Amino acid sequence: MRLNKMANQSQKIVFKLVLTGGPCGGKTTGQSRLSTFFENLGWKVFRVPETATVLLSGGIKFADLSPDEENVITVPDEECRGRCKRCTAAAIARAIQGDCAMKFQENLLKTMIQIENTFFELGRTCQRNCLIICDRGAMDASAFISKEKWEAMLSANNWNSVELRDNRYNHIVHMVSAANGAEDFYSTEDHACRSEGVELARELDYNAAAAWIGHPYFDVIDNSTDFDKKMNRLIACVCQRIGIDTGDRLNVNSKKRKFLVKSPLRPDTEFPPFQDFDVVHNYLQSDFRKAQVRLRKRGQKGHWSYIHTVRKFHPTNGQSVEVRTQLTHRDYLNMLPQRDDAHFTIFKKRRCFIFNNQYYQLDIYRQPTHPRCRGLVLLETYSAAYDQDALLASLPKFLTIEKEVTGDPAYSMYNLSLKEDWKTSNKYYAGSDYNDTKAVILGHSYSDILTTDNSSSSN
Strand partners, 352: 275, 361
Look at residue 189 in the predicted model and tell me its pLDDT: 45
Calpha distance 204→406 (Å, rounded): 34
Look at residue 249 in the predicted model and tell me its pLDDT: 54
Calpha distance 56→75 (Å, rounded): 7
Task: Delineate the domains of the chain, giving CATH numbers in brackets.
Answer: 14-242 (3.40.50.300), 256-451 (2.40.320.10)
- Nearest-CA neighbor of 171 among 222, 125, 235? 235
Strand partners, 171: 17
Task: Give the torsion through C-alpha atoms of 332, 336, 340, 345, to 10 deg.
Answer: 80
Each residue's pLDDT tens digit in the chain (459 positions)? 333 333 334 588 999 999 999 888 888 888 888 988 888 778 899 999 988 888 877 776 554 455 443 333 444 444 444 445 445 545 554 554 556 667 888 989 999 999 999 999 999 999 989 999 999 999 998 988 888 999 999 999 999 999 999 999 999 999 998 888 877 766 434 444 344 578 888 888 888 999 999 999 999 999 888 887 888 899 999 998 998 876 545 655 667 899 999 999 999 999 998 889 899 999 999 887 788 999 999 888 888 988 888 887 766 655 666 777 778 899 999 999 999 999 999 999 999 888 887 889 999 999 888 889 999 999 998 776 667 777 888 899 999 999 999 989 999 999 999 999 888 888 888 764 434 333 333 333 333 333 333 333 333
Coil, strand or helix at 412: coil
Look at residue 47 in the predicted model and tell me its pLDDT: 92
Task: Give the torsion through C-alpha atoms of 189, 195, 199, 203, to 10 deg.
Answer: -110
Calpha distance 122→236 (Å, rounded): 25
Amino acid identity for residue 3 in this structure:
L
Calpha distance 445→327 (Å, rounded): 7
- Nearest-CA neighbor of 133 among 13, 20, 21? 20
Q: What angle do CA 310, 316, 319 make, to 5 degrees?
A: 45
Calpha distance 249→236 (Å, rounded): 9
Look at residue 160 in the predicted model and tell me its pLDDT: 94
CB atoms within 10 A of CB 55: 17
- Nearest-CA neighbor of 277 among 381, 347, 209? 347
What does residue 231 show for φ and ψ, rounded to 5 degrees? -65, -40
Coil, strand or helix at 72: coil
Calpha distance 20→25 (Å, rounded): 9
Calpha distance 136→126 (Å, rounded): 23
Calpha distance 304→306 (Å, rounded): 7
- Nearest-CA neighbor of 31 among 20, 15, 42? 20
Please report how many Cα atoms fall inside a 13 Å half-sphere around the Cα of residue 313, on the Cβ side.
18
For 216, residues 6+ apart whose C-beta sits below 8 A from its C-beta are 166, 298, 305, 307
